[in-house]
Amino acid sequence: MRRLAAGICATLLLAACTGEDRPSSDSDGGASPSTGAGPSDEQALEPVGDPDTAAVQGGGFPGEGPPVAHLTDVRVAGHDGFDRVVLEFEGEQVPSYRVSYVQPPLTEDASGRPVDVAGSAFLELRASPASAVDLSGEQPEQTYDGPDRIEPPEGGVVTDLVSTGDVEANLAWTVGLADRVPFGVAALADPSRLVVDLLHAPDAPGGLEPVADGDTAESIAAGDGPPVALTDVRLGAHAGFDRIVFELAGEGEAGWQVGYTDEPQAQGSGAPVEVPGEAVLGITLTNIALPGDAPEGVSTWEGPDRQAIAGATVLDTLVEDTLFEGRHTFFAGLDGRRPFAVGLLTDPQRIVVDVLAEEPAAPEPLSQRCESPEGFSIAYPESWSVNSGETVPECTRFAPEQFTVPPNTDARVGAVTASVEPVPFDRVTAPGPGQELSRTETTVDGRAAVRTERVSAGEGLYPEGVRTTSYAVDLPAGDDGPRTLVVNTIGLPQFDYARNVPVLDRMIGTVTITP
């Protein structure tokens, strides 16, 4: 039987064929077309082909008839690490085929009527010449009498399997998926079958997992190379997390800035953006090209500007803001502040944001407190250290490790620093060089304060691109004039800026101004 399978593969010139390595007959593990049950045999199966996300075709697609291959069965089954979709045909040959991802809206061949396929990514299986009806006799004969929509087994990535075309010997079925995943294709023999295996996740058997451990701290990564084009935005609802995928094209690499915001605002205008939900996760893609500057042959994403997905656990709505100066911003409305993870996947390039359906870890308590001779007291994390005051006033430098402030140096020491500057509050809070990302007026111990986030332009102490989150607090004037308390954290390489910003935000709430 192996020689027979290999011979058929050679005759058809199917590049993805691996039938000689597969058991024949019902060993593809496919279920009956209506039940979606698991495999019937006990032998563990491995995915066929060379899984990837690029289109796969074989047999000289699009093939021309006669003979026309007649469909007899369609089935889907779940296996360890992948789902399998099978189209079975009469005779000894598998028709030519093309398997590729397609973009919505999905329509029925010939009629153009919309077809509803559940999922956030869609894989189309086309076979030619092929049909579910035999027209060779005096009367048409239905060779496949199963359903046009097949319910998949639970726990996998396949969410739907729908017939989307059978016109002029061109047969099409569309697979709905929870996310865009690699797939492998093979033509198997005895009986003749087109087999498509869809991996649950690259190198991760047993189901999709978040791209990384979740946290609530801001995640930042710089882009590189020429700007890239945004080609798709899609959502996925998975067990334990919801996924947002931004697909990109081009020779460069996109960056990102992802973090929670209390005041979602439009880029450029600063106008408030209405986002449903109890918490808002801001997602900004960087190094993004304008649609007119997209690589040749690349179609850019055109919306919709609001998306939701049925079955989501924590994600309410994803809202698009705008593409402005290479930064494309979105806001995800959530049911609360949840841990999230961000990762970059390749082939094609994708930025993936996974929002976990779990409560965030409790922050470390601010159980230590110190008083500075500068006129304030402040609490800091239990495991952190504070300076003793030999070089700079005590209770002004804080870090998660032991440290020493060297004498006669301007070097930045401490993840969070506090200082009282002999400068008027209005001057400290005035716009300065570099890009201001956000500005929030607030109060600290009853006194006027401003929180700002900035990116350095390289004109001061820090290199270009270094981020700073800073609080300025208006203090009573001293004997020598005006005073302003400045407490900040800096995104220098030696510091964990994403971790330190929420620590700073909590510390500032404990500040007490002393006489």
Residue ranges of domains in the chain, CATH in brackets = 2-199 (no CATH), 219-356 (2.60.40.3500), 368-513 (3.40.1000.10)
Query: 471 near 508, Cβ under 8 Å?
Result: yes
The residues, any chain, with a CB within 8 Å of residue 46's CB and separated by 6 or more, are none
Residue with tokens 């691996």: 18
Phi-psi region of 311 (alpha: psi -120 to 50; beta: other; left: phi over 0): left
Q: What is the pLDDT of residue 409?
A: 65
| Separation between Cα atoms, residue 178 and residue 121, nearest integer Å | 6
Q: What is the pLDDT of residue 152?
A: 93
Q: What is the pLDDT of residue 58?
A: 74
Q: Residue 507 burial by CB count (10 A; 0-12/13-18/19+): exposed, middle or buried?
A: buried
Q: What is the pLDDT of residue 29?
A: 53
Q: What is the pLDDT of residue 123?
A: 95
| Separation between Cα atoms, residue 138 and residue 454, nearest integer Å | 78
**HSE (side-chain half, CA atoms, 13 Å) at 151:** 4
Residue 508: closest CA among 453, 470, 475, 477 = 470
- Tokens at residue 301, please? 């994403």
Q: In 80-140, where do the E strands start and end?
A: 82-89, 96-102, 121-128, 130-131, 133-134
Alpha helices for 338-463 (secondary structure H): 425-428
Q: What is the pLDDT of residue 444?
A: 96
Q: Residue 362 burial by CB count (10 A; 0-12/13-18/19+): exposed, middle or buried?
A: exposed
Query: 270 near 263, Cβ under 8 Å?
Result: no
Q: How many residues does the chain have?
A: 515
- Write the CA distances from 158 to 75, 357, 384, 417, integer angstroms: 12, 21, 48, 51
Query: 9 near 19, Cβ under 8 Å?
Result: yes
Record the pTM: 0.52
| Separation between Cα atoms, residue 107 and residue 110, nearest integer Å | 9
| Separation between Cα atoms, residue 490 and residue 26, nearest integer Å | 62
Q: What is the pLDDT of residue 18?
A: 34
pLDDT in tens for each of the 515 residues of the chain?
A: 333 333 333 333 333 333 333 333 334 555 433 333 334 333 568 888 778 777 777 766 777 767 899 999 999 999 988 999 999 999 878 888 888 889 888 988 988 899 999 998 999 999 999 999 999 888 899 999 999 999 998 889 999 999 999 998 999 999 999 888 888 888 888 899 999 999 987 544 444 688 888 888 888 888 889 999 998 888 777 778 988 989 899 999 999 999 999 989 999 888 999 999 999 999 999 999 999 999 888 888 887 788 887 678 899 999 999 999 999 999 999 999 999 999 998 878 999 999 999 887 788 899 999 999 999 999 999 999 999 877 889 999 999 999 888 887 667 889 999 999 999 999 999 988 888 878 889 999 999 999 998 888 887 778 888 889 999 999 999 888 999 999 999 988 888 888 898 899 999 999 999 87
The residues, any chain, with a CB within 8 Å of residue 98's CB and separated by 6 or more, are 55, 56, 57, 61, 62, 124, 126
Q: Residue 461 burial by CB count (10 A; 0-12/13-18/19+): exposed, middle or buried?
A: exposed
**Integer Rg of the chain from CA:** 30
